[in-house]
Amino acid sequence: MMNGSMYFEPTEIEEALELLSRYGNDARLMAGGTDLIIDVTEGRVAEGHIINLMSIDSTSKITGENGLCIGATVLLDSIEHSPRIIDEFQMLSEAASVVGSWQIRVLGTMGGNMCNALPCADTAPPLYAADAVIEIAGQSGRRVVPAESFILAPRKNVLEPGEMLVGFRLPKAPRRTGSVFVKHIFRKALDMTIISLAVAVTLDARSDVIRRARVALGSAAPTPIRTRQAEAVLEGNMLTEELAREAADLVVGECRVHDSPIRASAEYRRDVIRVLARRCIQEAVRRAGQHERGGSDDEV
């Protein structure tokens, strides 16, 4: 037990950064706290000075005219129910809706989910599939990294000492875009993810040719990943059963799963990835197709 742990509740990002810099290794940035408190209780992380980020107004909102800005401390429950997110990035709402339980979703944040940097981070695949970028603030100013580059390894993210994640920017998706997220678990709730998949597909304005495809997975490699070969084989083509299967095989090829006696074997995961990738690609195309044809490809 650490002597003299302190608690801070900054209301501005700059205040938080100042505290972070002052306390260095003893600083504990906390959003929902659901992962961090368990880490401390179970001895993986020592107690330290708590910097509670939930009073910072500027990171707690969903805004944006052209695309979406989601603050780091927006609750998963809010992401799940946000009408804009449901409308424009359905896969993200779906992912938020299956993190833990309702109790976890009203405490937890996407910022926390990503900073925890686990391969099973459920919000990662949709962020990757949305070409999201992550806004980072540090003493020397702001920088932006692709969401895909944020997680380096299990429990290791790209933040340098003195930096914090402040927000997510998702570029506006073209009109004929459909997306879907699936989390594969054995029970119907609460399990740690065995495989998760986010697929976003944009169809041509006037035909059903796939103009753009994004396929991202969680728990399929040491970090969440995008599978670009599969995306490449889809783009420029109309979806057929055969093409979906071909793409799904490519997805499997790009994954690096391992055996987990508690969750599932590598072989099972590959089998499930193949099936779910095919189904998700088909579903994403179906959802995209629900937007009527017409107009130009530049329309958003």
Residue whose CB is less far from another protein, 61 or 245:
245
Q: Which of 4, 25, 240, 298 binds another protein (CB under 8 A)?
A: 4
Q: Which of 17, 34, 127, 282 binds another protein (CB under 8 A)?
A: 34
Distance CA 172, CA 200 (A): 12
Indicate the pairing of strand 156-157 with strand 7-8. unpaired
Residue whose CB is less far from another protein, 78 or 179:
78
- Min CB(106)–another protein separation in Å: 4
Q: Is 242 in the site for another protein (CB under 8 A)?
A: no
Whole-angstrom CA distances from 40 to 12, 44, 46, 166 are 26, 6, 6, 23
Residue whose CB is less far from another protein, 36 or 234:
36
Are 71 and 59 a contacting pair, CB within 8 Å? yes
Residue whose CB is less far from another protein, 73 or 202:
73
Residues 6+ apart with CB under 8 A from 247: 213, 215, 230, 233, 234, 277, 278, 281
- Min CB(58)–another protein separation in Å: 19
Give, as ranges, the residues between 186 and 205 that touch another protein (CB under 8 A): 186-192
Q: Which of 16, 276, 281, 285 binds another protein (CB under 8 A)?
A: 276
DSSP structure class, residue 212? E
- Min CB(189)–another protein separation in Å: 4
Are 60 and 201 a contacting pair, CB within 8 Å? no
Spacing of C-alpha 38 from chain mean position: 21
- Min CB(183)–another protein separation in Å: 12
Distance CA 198, CA 204 (A): 20
Closest CA to 202 of 162, 227, 171: 171
Give, as ranges, the residues between 60 and 119 that touch another protein (CB under 8 A): 77, 100-104, 106-107
User: Footprint of another protein on this chain (CB under 8 A)?
Assistant: 1, 3-7, 9, 30, 33-34, 37-38, 40-42, 47, 49-50, 52, 54, 77, 100-104, 106-107, 184, 186-192, 261-265, 267-268, 271-272, 275-276
